[in-house]
Amino acid sequence: MPTSDENIQATPDASSEGPKKSPRNATRAPAIIVTIVAAAVAALSIFYLLRPEPLLVQGEVDATRLDIAARVDGRVKEIPVQRGQNVPAGAILVRIDNPETLAKHDQMRAAKVVADAQLVNVLVGTRVETIAARKAEMERAQAAVVLAQKTFDRTRTLTEQGNAPQARLDQVTDALHESERAVDQAKSAYEQAVNGYTKEERAIAKANVEKADADIQSVQSIIDQLVVYAPVASQVYQRNIEPGEYVSPGVPLVTLIDLGDVWVHFDLREDLVKSLKVGDRFDVRIPALDDRRVTIEVKLIATKGEYASWRATRASGDFDLRTFSIRAYPVTPVPELRPGMSAYLDWRSRQ
């Protein structure tokens, strides 16, 4: 039988070994971890399967484009702008050469000088020398009448006395009548010289001057259009011609874009715009700007033509949908935006 000392010593030896782990607990921990991971995978799978798929809508950045055309024909003389250059309003874009128009302008100016001279001549009236000459012609005609009258009187007396033939009397009678008519003509010419030009002649002379002025202005307007200017501050987007080419009226010479009027354009089916209204704001991403987020505001919702309808693929149970054009402008200016850049967003989560 062991002594008490031996019992006392055995007790601390047994307690010094401590509690031992159960084999069951050691095998349960990995199972719990696997269960948690499986549950997480199942939850994520259910989440991705049940959540709605994103509806990506792509748009395009656009801006006001100006096709600048000439109103006259001619040969391109100079194009002082380059593609991509920013030009202010009133900048010279194209110079056109047209020698025929310039020659016509000189001709009209010469015609104006002639019309002015004619008007001055009419307004001044008849020269003093002309009036004196007309008066002398009238007095000479009157003297001729006096002589013809005396000759007629003598011839008639001789004819009555039988000393002159009747034929001689007829001759002097005709000469007297011609002298009287000559007096009337000379008197009329003298009065015309004294009175000067009529008011109708003055009006005609003034009208000729006004017509010459109008002809000059007409040709000058064509000459002014030989130089094509930028209507607004913009950027040169495209040059459609080169120096030396012949251009006709209405043919676009240069295309400009107004970078101060930039928007994002979308073409959407009508079932996607049912909750959209003018004034709505949402964010889009611009891939060309490192996927930058830009806030835009809807300013226009307009239907497109019949040719832009979305056609149903099924023969029954579906119907055609019209396409609507959406125009949205950046809320804050984005100087880096350029026409042609793409913009996209998830339409369902745009709010």
Are 96 and 77 in contact by the 8 Å Cβ rule? The answer is yes
Beta strands in the chain (DSSP E): 56-69, 74-78, 86-87, 92-97, 227-229, 234-239, 246-247, 252-269, 281-286, 292-303, 323-330, 342-346
CATH number of 56-64+257-346: 2.40.30.170
The C-alpha angle with vertex 297 and arms to 294 and 302, in degrees rounded to 5, equals 125
Question: Six-digit token pair at 34?
Answer: 């696997």
Domain boundaries, the chain: 56-64+257-346, 67-95+222-253, 103-207
Nearest to 257 by CA among 76, 93, 86, 28: 86
Contacts of 272 (CB under 8 A, 6+ apart): 55, 57, 347
Are 351 and 282 in contact by the 8 Å Cβ rule? The answer is yes
Contacts of 42 (CB under 8 A, 6+ apart): none
> Which residue's structure tokens are 């025929």?
100
Q: pLDDT tens digits, the chain, 351 residues: what are they?
A: 444 444 444 444 444 444 554 555 556 777 777 788 878 877 777 766 665 567 788 999 999 999 999 889 999 999 999 998 999 999 999 999 999 999 999 999 999 999 999 888 887 777 777 778 888 888 888 888 888 888 888 888 888 888 888 888 888 889 888 988 998 888 888 777 777 777 888 889 999 999 999 999 999 999 999 999 999 899 999 999 999 999 999 889 999 999 889 999 998 888 888 888 899 999 999 999 999 999 999 999 988 766 555 555 444 455 567 788 999 999 999 988 988 899 999 888 775
Q: Does domain 67-95+222-253 have CATH number 2.40.50.100?
A: yes
Q: Cα–Cα distance between 155 and 168 in angstroms, integer? A: 7
Sheet with strand 227-229: strands edge to edge = 227-229, 92-97, 74-78, 246-247
